[in-house]
Structure 1
């Protein structure tokens, strides 16, 4: 566990509509019916065969428990560079040490509401990670299960599947489908296009 996981409480970066950081808040108090806009990230992990690591969120998670989703999501700590946050959470949630971490979609933003009214409201850049070792050690506090699947099978999904993807993953698939080439050849985005709060 890193110093960030060990710190109490974990804090997230609050953002204004222009992407500027406007403060921080205890992560445990942020998600509710009026969740403020805050900084996050999503990561899709690929192996050499263009398989993507999919996960199911732990059933104890406050937001979207048990839902099938992308490889890893998280929140950078105040002042933490985004690639460092991605690397940290990959190790913590999945026991993965990434060979590469690349920015794909700098300005992704979404808002989604659970049936109980809990809201996710995030500036959430999308990253690609690659691995040489496909072994995964899922942290049960975060991940109920994890499995490798061909990217094309995931990329073709829509909201109609019976075991639906998380709302952010469905939106992110739309963004990733617009990229040229296959996952291993997708162009790397310019970090200067990140929200200002994410340019640590």
Structure 2
């Protein structure tokens, strides 16, 4: 990792970029709307990778969520941002990146009061091996059958990130890599 601060793209309500800000300063109790992405990684057997957020995370520590999330840098292509973040967060190379929920947007407030406020297109990708995640990002991980994940989120939504539940609810058709 470099010493260069990571910037996020700030957005107007209609999704138009209006500036940038350091990621470290954006997530507060009054988080401005900004650009992000979520990625659901599948393996060759069709299982999806779910991760448990590290206990040291500022928001939603210790909850299970989709494979990984991130923020594209200003002028960075989503596929490049996804590959970069997969490597940084999961130690994993991904390929076959595809759009799944291009218009996904959400706002959620963590128990600590920190707000997520994102236009957050959702993607799928394929990985050919197991992750070796960064300890500051991921506490645990597992590959699960997509139907089993849907059932678990429905039965115990409090154990999962809110955006994962909303993404699964918005997913049309089969929840698999496309």
Counterpart in the other structure of 1:154: 149
Equivalent position SS for 1:128: strand
* Partners of 1:9 and 1:182 in 2: CA distance: 35
Q: Say whether the 8 Å CA contact 1:45–1:53 is kept in structure 2.
A: yes
State the TM-score, normalizing by the size of structure 2: 0.94
Aligned length: 178
* Partners of 2:43 and 2:5 in 1: CA distance: 34
* Partners of 1:183 and 1:30 in 2: CA distance: 32
Are 2:91 and 1:95 aligned?
yes
Are 2:136 and 1:141 aligned?
yes
* Partners of 1:159 and 1:13 in 2: CA distance: 32
The 5 Å alignment of 1:158-177 reads 158-161=153-156, 164-176=159-171
Counterpart in the other structure of 1:72: 68
Give the Å deviation of 1:155.
2.1
* Partners of 1:182 and 1:22 in 2: CA distance: 34
Unaligned runs of 5+ in 2: none
Give the Å deviation of 1:50.
1.2
Per-residue CA shift, 1:89-139, capped at 9, x if unaligned? 10111111113111111110000011221110000000001122x221010
Q: Say whether the 8 Å CA contact 1:10–1:26 is kept in structure 2.
A: yes
Counterpart in the other structure of 1:190: none
Counterpart in the other structure of 2:122: 126
Equivalent position SS for 1:85: helix
Give the Å deviation of 1:182.
5.3
* Partners of 1:162 and 1:73 in 2: CA distance: 19
Unaligned runs of 5+ in 1: 187-200
Are 2:54 and 1:58 aligned?
yes
Q: Say whether the 8 Å CA contact 1:68–1:163 is kept in structure 2.
A: no
Give the Å deviation of 1:82.
0.8
* Partners of 1:16 and 1:22 in 2: CA distance: 6
* Partners of 2:151 and 2:140 in 1: CA distance: 21
Are 2:49 and 1:44 aligned?
no
1:163–1:78 distance in 2 versus 1, CA, 3 Å: same
Higher strand share: 2
